[in-house]
Amino acid sequence: MTTQTLSGEFFMAGNAAAAEGAIAAGCRFFGGYPITPSTELAERMSRRLPQIGGVFIQMEDEIASMAAILGASWAGKKSMTATSGPGISLMMENIGLGVITETPCVIVNVQRGGPSTGLPTLVGQQDVMQARWGSHGDYEIIALAPGSVQECFDVVIKAFNFAEQYRTPVIVLMDECTSHMWEKVVIPPPEEIERINRKTPDGPPPEGEDFYPYRCTDGTMIPPMPKAGDGYRMHITGLTHDEKGYPKINAATQDKLVRRLCDKIRKNADDIVITEDYMLDDAEIVIVAFGTVSRSAKSAVRIARKKGLKVGLLKLVTIWPFAEKKIKELAERVKLFVVAEINYGQIVNEVERCVAGKAEVRLSSKLGGELHHPEEILSAIPEVVV
Amino acid sequence: MISDTPEITRITPAMETTQELLESHPLDRFLRGDRMPHIWCPGCGAGNVMAAYINAIKNLEIELNRHVVVSGIGCTGRIAGYINLDSYHTTHGRAIPFATGMKVANPDLIVTVISGDGDLFAIGGNHFLHAARRNVNLLVICVNNYIYGMTGGQLAPTTPLDNITTTSPFGNYEHPFNLPYLAMASGAAYVARWTTIHLRRLTKSIEKATMKPGFSFIEVLSPCPTGYGKLNKKGDALDVARFFQEKSVIKHGSNPFDAGVREGKEIILGEFINRDDRPSFLEYQRRMEERVVGKNANK
């Protein structure tokens, strides 16, 4: 039992499912700091990791937690942390270090209401733009949002696979509702779980020859990642660096590096962007929602359909990179987008940008603390109001 | 800070031939020659500390691939980039938690943090306390030049009272840290202080601290003629070396409480703490794992 991951049907909360998803994905290092509403995730990891040869360490704060998972990743372990609100704010600088050093890792942000200490025990979706832009500088990030307990399990596995494949921190935007909700979770046998591992170089070059930790020769823009202790004698820095990993403080190196860091995500958006359609085929009105709100939105669609309105749901599983192509396609044929989110308007701006005036865009906003009732989402549709 | 478990294999390198000695310096293989010249000002002590570290690594004769250097930001933070080992130049103040994650994830690595006083004790102070409390198997070397060098001479948490910096132009009115005392109180297994003129002792100390299970801390008092020296009329590096020579007193085993740095007073050096009564993080973690695996095996 001690070396195995779980499989079968379980009744568990989202935080537990996310922990099990991480373990199933191969995560063997967790560094974290307790914070509501993510704490149960750390608690479960502290119990589970020692059973399966992994390492749990409770760090002194979220800054340290983020630094520790980067260090662990370079030591060769798939690593994760989990936090919320104030904690994710503290992690931002080292998320940037993860981006520029191209360090695979997963950060779960169980969103609660903010700003500041805000609503520690209640739901929010107010960190969506922070996930995209929270660390300074130009970069791209991958962020995924699960909407059910099963999805907490599934999406965390996806997050690890993207992190390993694209050599980047991946943020899982959970929310307080999914984290504490209990539902059935089906955990497949380990051999049925897709696990992607980072590419590694073939071995250190012969004595006297240089090694280039950031040289990519296969056209993917993602260089293979060596781990510490394997004899590569590499230098890894948060400064702008060349292919050798050496700091180069000039515009040309910056241009080449930042362009590649962004393009390796941008140009693979088709692979990374996951959305789910519900009754979209003939829809004239599209509700856009993600996370737990997508469940209220689904109910809203059903209610509207009963009233004879052609309403459908576009559920965003991948938040970043944004589902630009999908929204642009829909904008060609629908008349109204209703964006339902637990914030005062974040994703709605992205939708407006993609729709570019080709349809109307309305916001159905809750400011944190509770989910939308389906009727509240529907009230943004003029035909329903009338 | 070597973990209590992994095996250490010593590798004695072949003696250099006369030809090799003529063509290169015996320490060349420890440095990244293509990164030279370095960024340090004339008279800076960071290079001396780097030399002591690589001499210690050489003397230890442990497989070089197992050594990792992690540093934060600042003049001293650049040491990682010049040493020909796996090296990580992280964010300001966060070298210790990065190194902690790395060491705990792979105990076979021998991880040394080399950084400055501002990096380790102002922005990174909390991490130092907790790494020492955990007794995590790391060696932390602090190059203490009493000032922020990279940004041009600002007040540090180590700047002695009344000293001039660019952000204390009328004299420092904040008490500085006594670093060995802080390290001891936080639980470090090994605590020593040297200056940049005590390089043989420093080298031996680094060797000893590297082999010590648990958290080791070495403070190295170091000149910064450009930043600290000029503002406080300390002269050039040679004057500071002379000052270190005149004022230093080696008192092994003395109470770090008495080792605070005060302007014009004697500077107490030596090995303050070398204790074995506090099992390291990795040792306690191993005991926990045995309990977990043992318990599950009985089921």
Chain A positions touching B187 (Cβ under 8 A) are none
CATH C-level class of A275-385: alpha beta
Contact B105 A77 (CB under 8 A): yes
**Residue A79 CA neighbour count, 13 Å, CB half:** 33
Say what the pLDDT of residue B298 is: 47
ipTM: 0.97
Which of B153, B169, B161, B150 shows the shortest CA–CA distance to B261?
B161
Contact A75 B80 (CB under 8 A): no
**If you measure CA to CA, which chain B residue comes closest to A226?**
B86
A residues 154-213 near B, CB within 8 Å?
A: 210
Residue B72 above 60 pLDDT? Answer: yes
Instruction: Give chain B's domain count.
Output: 1
Taking the CA atoms of residue A306, residue A369, residue A127 and residue A268 in that order, the dihedral angle to the nearest 10 degrees is -30
**Any chain B CB within 8 A of the CB of A219?**
no
Say what the pLDDT of residue A2 is: 43
**Any chain A CB within 8 A of the CB of B282?**
no
Q: What is the mean pLDDT of residues B116-137?
A: 98
Contact A75 B81 (CB under 8 A): no
Q: How far is A252 from chain B (nearest CA, A)?
A: 19
Say what the pLDDT of residue B12 is: 75
pLDDT top residue among A206 and A255 = A255
DSSP A176-237: HHHHH-EEEEEE--GGGS--------S-PPPTTS---TT---SSSS------TTSS---EEE
A residues 243-262 near B, CB within 8 Å?
A: 246-247
**If you measure CA to CA, which chain A residue comes closest to B101?**
A68
Chain A positions touching B126 (Cβ under 8 A) are 60-61, 64
- Domain extent listing, chain A: 8-192, 275-385
Which CATH number, 3.40.190.290, 3.40.50.970, 3.30.110.30, 1.20.1090.10, labels domain A8-192? 3.40.50.970
Residue B14 above 80 pLDDT? Answer: no
Say what the pLDDT of residue B293 is: 85
Residue B11 lies in a domain: no
Q: What is the CATH number of the domain that holds B32?
A: 3.40.50.970
Chain A positions touching B122 (Cβ under 8 A) are none
Say what the pLDDT of residue B5 is: 47
Interface residue of B75, B84, B87, B106 to substitute, partner A, most A CBs within 10 Å? B106
Identify the domain containing residue B81 by its residue range. 18-298
Q: Mean pLDDT lowest for which of B11-20, B93-102, B158-167, B196-205? A: B11-20
Interface residue of A5, A51, A63 to substitute, partner B, most B CBs within 10 Å? A63
Say what the pLDDT of residue A338 is: 98
pLDDT band at B214 (very low <50, low <70, confident <90, very high): very high
Which of B119, B27, B128 shows the shortest CA–CA distance to B75?
B119
pLDDT in tens, A260-299: 999 999 999 999 999 999 999 999 999 999 999 999 999 9
Say what the pLDDT of residue B22 is: 78
Q: Mean pLDDT lowest for which of A24-28, A203-207, B120-124? A: A203-207
- The whole-chain average pLDDT of chain A stands at 96
Say what the pLDDT of residue B299 is: 43
pLDDT in tens, A128-162: 999 999 999 999 999 999 999 999 999 999 999 99
Say what the pLDDT of residue A316 is: 98
**Any chain A CB within 8 A of the CB of B114?**
no
Residue B15 above 80 pLDDT? Answer: no
Q: What is the mean pLDDT of residues A196-219?
A: 93
pLDDT in tens, B251-298: 999 999 999 998 889 999 999 999 999 999 999 999 999 999 876 554
Q: What is the mean pLDDT of residues B172-189?
A: 98
**If you measure CA to CA, which chain A residue comes closest to B109?**
A229
Q: How far is A81 from chain B (nearest CA, A)?
A: 12
**Residue A81 is inside which H or E element, if any?**
strand A78-83
Say what the pLDDT of residue A4 is: 67
Residue B7 above 90 pLDDT? Answer: no
- B174-178: long-range contacts (C-beta < 8 A, 24 or more apart)? B176/B146, B176/B260, B176/B261, B177/B121, B178/B256, B178/B257, B178/B259, B178/B260, B178/B261
pLDDT band at A229 (very low <50, low <70, confident <90, very high): very high
